[in-house]
Amino acid sequence: MVIGKYRIGLRTLKTAIAVMCCIIFFHITHRGSPMVATLAAVFALREDMSTTMSFGKSRILGNTIGGISGILYYLCLLNLPNQSIGEIFLVPFFVLVTITISIRLKNEKGIIGGVSTLLFLCFSIPKTSSFTYAIDRVIDTFIGTLFAILWNYLIKSPLEDKEETLEEKKEQLAIKKREVASLEEEIDSMEKNIPADTPLD
């Protein structure tokens, strides 16, 4: 879509729709601010479905690691007499933990999302809130990621359709090649079992 000198791509349009769906969902369910979910939708939505699924899985795993680290940070902070000192030492420690675990799980793509989730929880959760607030924010990231996956599935680019058609043709060709190879083996086997002087006509 072109408006004047500006081109609005399909990915841009899908991102805007995913953000709108997050906002509508949060208004309907009274979940509060949709900020985390909308950010997750923007981060997760990629140029095609396969990339979105791959990035979405990394994002969800990263957010889970960051969310758990954020909840643990919050619980540790509650038990410290001086929360400012605790913040100075605990936040970097849990950043280290989040990155290390992500690397150990071979989820390097989810590191930025995981650390972002952790830092958001560390600095946005009111000190008087319960840890269920942190859990809700982690769930929000799942909601945004799911909307991104949904709209990438519902609206496909012409290039994706061509690529899918091409992949289907390649799969069909591979099946035919296997069938031909199987028939050739069968013919070879039959020919070996036929005496050499036997007429074939």
**Which of the residues in the chain have pLDDT under 70?**
1-2, 4, 47-56, 125-131, 157-169, 194-201
pLDDT for res 199: 58
The contacts found for 22-25 with CB under 8 angstroms, 24 or more apart, are: 22/143, 22/144, 22/147, 25/143, 25/147
pLDDT for res 132: 76
Same structural domain, 49 and 124:
yes
Same structural domain, 122 and 175:
no
pLDDT for res 17: 93
Q: What percent of the chain has pLDDT over 90?
A: 17
Same structural domain, 100 and 180:
no
Strand partners, 104: none
Same structural domain, 68 and 120:
yes
Same structural domain, 45 and 140:
yes
Per DSSP, the three-state class of 115 is helix
Number of domains comprising the chain: 2
96 is a domain residue:
yes
Instruction: Locate 23 and state its tokens.
Output: 């906002």
Instruction: Round to whole Å and give the CA distance between 17 and 45.
Output: 11
Radius of gyration of the CA atoms of the chain, in A: 27
How long a stretch of residues is the chain?
201
**Token pair 């960051």: residue:** 66
Distances (CA, A) of 72 to 65, 93, 117, 149: 11, 11, 13, 29
Strand partners, 3: 6
10 phi and psi angles, rounded to 5 deg: -65, -40
Same structural domain, 144 and 173:
no
pLDDT for res 124: 75
pLDDT for res 138: 78
Cβ atoms 28, 21 nearer than 8 A:
no
Its domain, for residue 85, covers 7-155
37 is a domain residue:
yes
Same structural domain, 78 and 121:
yes
Same structural domain, 87 and 34:
yes
Instruction: Locate 123 and state its tokens.
Output: 């600095």
pLDDT tens digits, one per residue of 147-194: 988 888 787 766 544 555 566 667 777 888 888 888 888 787 777 776
1 is a domain residue:
no
Same structural domain, 63 and 132:
yes
Nearest 5°: the CA angle 68, 65, 59 is: 130
197 is a domain residue:
no
52 is a domain residue:
yes
164 is a domain residue:
yes
